[in-house]
A and B are shown apart, each in its own frame.
Chain A
C-alpha cells in the first residue's frame, strides 16, 4: 500500500472491516474487488487481515471454563456457598 501510487488504497482502508465482515453493499464490494485484482499489497492486507480475525475467532472457541477454584471463591464472595456443589 505504501510503495505505489494507487490513491484507492487509502479509500479502501476505511471499508476493510465491512468488506471482510461481508456487510458492504454489492456495489462497493465490486469496486474493492476490482482494486484488489490490480493491487498486490492491498490483496495481501485483506488476506492477512482475514487470517488475523479468524485466528482470534479460533482462540475464542478454545477458551475454557472458569477454573473450579475461581468459581468456588466467586460463589463464596456472593454468599452463594450452598450452591457450590450444584
Chain B
C-alpha cells in the first residue's frame, strides 16, 4: 500500500529538528503499524514494535546514508523489531532465519484445485473472509511472511523488499512465490468450504 508521504529533510532529522521528527512520525507510522499488525496479529505487540521502531530510528538516523529511501530504511528497522519480538514471544521455536537457505520445493506444490473465483463479491468482503486472509498470512513462516507483507501488502518493489531485508532479488522472488502459493492453498481450502455451504443453502 503506497501512502502519500510528506517531504522530509534528512538533514533536519540529523540535526535533531523536532518539527521534522514529528512530521516523520505522522507520515510513516501508519505503514509500520500495519506491518507490525500483519506480522504479529496482536494490537499491543504491534504498538510495541511501532514505538521501538521510531525510538531506534531517532537513535540511528545519523547512520542513514540515503542508499535506500527513508521508507525502505524504516521498513527495515520495523521488520527487525517485529522479528525480534516474535522471537522473544516464542523462544522455544526455532525460527527460519531471514537469510537462511531455501528448503525443498515440494512443500509448496499445489494440491487444491477448486475454482472459488466464481464466489459472489460479498463473500470476499465479509469480516469472516478478512479474518481468514489475516490468519493465512500469520500461518506463513516468518521468512516468507515478511517478504509477502512488504511486497504484496505494502507494495514495495522486489528491489526495495530486498534492500529492506538484506536479500538478493532472486531470494525475494523465491520467497514471494512460496508465500503466494501457500496462501493460495490456504484460501482455496477456506473458500472451497464456503462454496460448499453456499450450494447447500
What DSSP secondary structure best describes chain B's contact surface? helix
Residue B70 lies at the interface, judged by CB distance under 8 Å to chain A = no
Please choose the segment from B61-69, B74-82, B84-92, B174-182 that sits at the chain A interface, where 4 or more of its residues have CB less than 8 A away. B174-182
Scoring A18, A45, A55, A58 by chain B CB atoms within 10 A of each residue's CB, the highest score goes to: A55
How many of chain B's residues touch chain A, expressed as a range?
Answer: 35 or more
CA distance A56 to B179 in the complex (A): 12
Binding site secondary structure of chain A: helix
B1 partner residues in chain A, CB cutoff 8 A: 60-61, 63
* Total A-B pairs, Cβ < 8 A: 115
Interface bracket on A: 35 or more
B188 interface residue, CB < 8 Å from A?
Answer: yes
| B 134-193 contacts with A by CB, 8 A | 134, 137, 148, 152-155, 173, 176-177, 180-181, 183-184, 187-188
A86 to B22, CA, bound (A): 9
Chain A residues closer than 8 Å to B12, beta-carbon distance:
none
B residues sitting closer than 8 Å to A (CB atoms) are 1, 18-19, 21-22, 25-26, 29-30, 33-34, 43, 47, 50-51, 54-55, 58, 105, 109-117, 124, 130, 133-134, 137, 148, 152-155, 173, 176-177, 180-181, 183-184, 187-188
10 further interface pairs, Cβ-Cβ under 8 Å (given A63-B1, A74-B47, A83-B22): A45-B184, A48-B116, A48-B187, A55-B187, A56-B133, A57-B155, A59-B134, A60-B152, A70-B43, A78-B55
Chain A residues within 8 Å of B, Cβ to Cβ: 1-2, 10, 13-14, 16-18, 41, 44-45, 47-49, 51-53, 55-61, 63, 65-66, 70-71, 73-75, 77-78, 80, 83, 86
